[in-house]
Amino acid sequence: MRSGLSPRHAAVLLVLTLVWGFNWPVMKVGVQGLPPLTFRGLSLLIGLPCLALALVWLKVPLRLPRREWALVGRLFVTNMFAWHVLLMLALPHLSSGRAAILGYTMPVFSALWGWHRGERLSRPQVLGVAATGLAVLLLLWHEVTRLSGAPVAALVVLGAAAVWAVGTRQMRDARTDAHVLTLSLWMTVLTTVGVWALAVPLEAARWGPVTWPAIWATLYNGLLVFGYCQPAWLYLARTLPPVASSISVMLIPVLGIGSGAFFLGEALHWQDGAAVLLILLAIGLVLLPPRVWRRA
């Protein structure tokens, strides 16, 4: 595993960061025009053939060996299914920027998961966890004190981030000979089936005419998020160390909250600004190698 970023890795990270960062207000538009699980299910259906065509173009095998199915069955739940379902259910009740801040606490949960498994937390990492806790308290406090606050939705997004952190570590530690894009394809297939298994009984009664903004939001998610970002993230998680593969999360919540305010007119409060600064500090503390802080 390489310790640095190659030009190829840097390019993948740049596009990933921009697409995922601007996707937060795009998703908000999507769930305003479609039931949330239906919106996610349609995006997955669009992304699947794009991903399959990419594998064919790259000459990556589509077939998954039988011995790998148990692994994929475990990985898809924590890396994709739980994150997407929980996020979609919570997003209609939160601003896109606030959801982005809460969702990208993932690296801190990853550090806590490592500590739970016996890894020692450095002093900067402990400070990072504390900063994240303070940021979450600020956001939850604002949600509780607002008349239309949604603290439960905020906690659901935190839960989704915690499960995603487990999945990222499982993906990194997985012992498999299968290509990461092959794993991504079949994880996406299983996630699509799971999302529609929930969407049909829960949301079919709400299906109706679809607005053009919701259509564009669905295409953005299908083509760019599932056709590119999801396999790109898994590729980075498998080929780079934790520090390098998590670099993009430093900017995604900033892009999310900024683009939500710019494109959707979402009101920003001092709690949002303080929370995003605390989360950025926490991610830096958690991701930077301890020797950087010793030199400082």
Q: What angle do CA 238, 97, 136 make, to 5 degrees?
A: 80
Tokens (6 digits) for 160: 């989704």
Please, are residues 192 and 41 in contact by the beta-carbon 8 Å criterion?
yes
d(CA 116, CA 61): 36
Question: Which residues, at least 6 apart from 284, have a Cβ–Cβ distance to it below 8 Å?
Answer: 128, 250
Mean pLDDT of the chain: 83
Report pLDDT digits (tens) over 208-233. Answer: 999 999 999 999 999 999 888 878 87
Q: What is the DSSP string of 102-160?
A: HHTTHHHHHHHHHHHTTPPPPHHHHHHHHHHHHHHHHHHHHHHHSTT--HHHHHHHHHH
d(CA 121, CA 6): 28
Burial of 2 (0-12, 13-18, 19+ CB in 10 A): exposed
d(CA 51, CA 58): 11
For the whole model, what pTM was predicted?
0.82
Closest CA to 132 of 115, 107, 152, 113: 107
Instruction: Kindly provide the b/e burial profile for residues 236-262, where b requires at least 16 CB atoms within 10 angstroms of the residue's own CB.
Output: bbbbbebebbbbbbbbbbbbbbbbbbe
| pLDDT averaged over 10-residue windows placed end to end, the chain, 296 residues | 62 86 94 97 95 88 92 93 95 86 78 74 75 75 57 88 89 85 93 98 95 96 90 72 55 80 82 79 65 48
Closest CA to 161 of 248, 86, 252, 237: 86
Query: Largest Cα–Cα distance of the chain, in whole Å?
Result: 60
Residue percentage of the chain with pLDDT more than 70: 85
Tokens (6 digits) for 272: 């949002």
Tokens (6 digits) for 33: 């025009």
- pLDDT score, position 147: 39
- pLDDT score, position 43: 97
